[in-house]
Amino acid sequence: MRSSQWPFSGLEPPEPPGDLRERVLTAARVARAADEGRAPVEWTLRLWRSRELWLAWAVGMVFLLGVNAWLSMSGVPGSSRAEVTGAIATTVEATSPSWLAESGSSWKLFEVQRILTADSSSLVERSGGSDNHIETYLALREVL
């Protein structure tokens, strides 16, 4: 077992101390008993190792990616950026400070706020810088 060049023939590494055996085995048994009591870990491991669950996850991911690709390519009506921005401008055109003052409908205010938050800069841009539209926008900001 020793190489021919080994200079310490006849000497051996010391044995582990006699009491180490009991200490080590007791610690190991205690750790094992504690680990066996941890049901959630076992349950999690079963999930982690379950081939069926991994397969279901993979199928789900492929499905979602497929749907995403299909929607991107087919172009659902009303989903393009130009159409959305146009809708915002139309909404604002139909909205005036006087209408806002008369209107007490909170859901309408909420809707306008949502639209403004979504794309307020493009809204001003699309208004062509007309005073009317900018005023409307500023009035809405004050109200909201």
> Which of 130, 114, 127, 30 shows the shortest CA–CA distance to 86?
127
18 lies in the site for other proteins, by CB under 8 A: no
Given the complex with other proteins, which of 50 and 80 has the nearer CB atom? 50
Do 89 and 123 contact (CB within 8 A), yes or no?
Answer: yes
Q: State whether residue 130 is helix, strand or coil.
A: coil
Cite the DSSP H helix spans in 17-50.
20-36, 39-49
141 lies in the site for other proteins, by CB under 8 A: no
Q: How far is CA 77 from the centre of its chain?
A: 27
Least distance CB 27 / other proteins (angstroms) = 5
Do 63 and 107 contact (CB within 8 A), yes or no?
Answer: no
101 lies in the site for other proteins, by CB under 8 A: no
Region of 80 on the Ramachandran plot (φ > 0 left; ψ -120 to 50 alpha; else beta): beta
Least distance CB 56 / other proteins (angstroms) = 22
45 lies in the site for other proteins, by CB under 8 A: yes
15 lies in the site for other proteins, by CB under 8 A: yes
Given the complex with other proteins, which of 14 and 104 has the nearer CB atom? 14
51 lies in the site for other proteins, by CB under 8 A: no
Least distance CB 54 / other proteins (angstroms) = 16
Least distance CB 25 / other proteins (angstroms) = 6
- How far is 128 from 130, CA to CA, in rounded Å? 5
Which stretches of the chain bind other proteins, using CB under 8 A?
1-3, 5-8, 10-17, 20-21, 23-25, 27-29, 31-32, 35-36, 41-42, 45
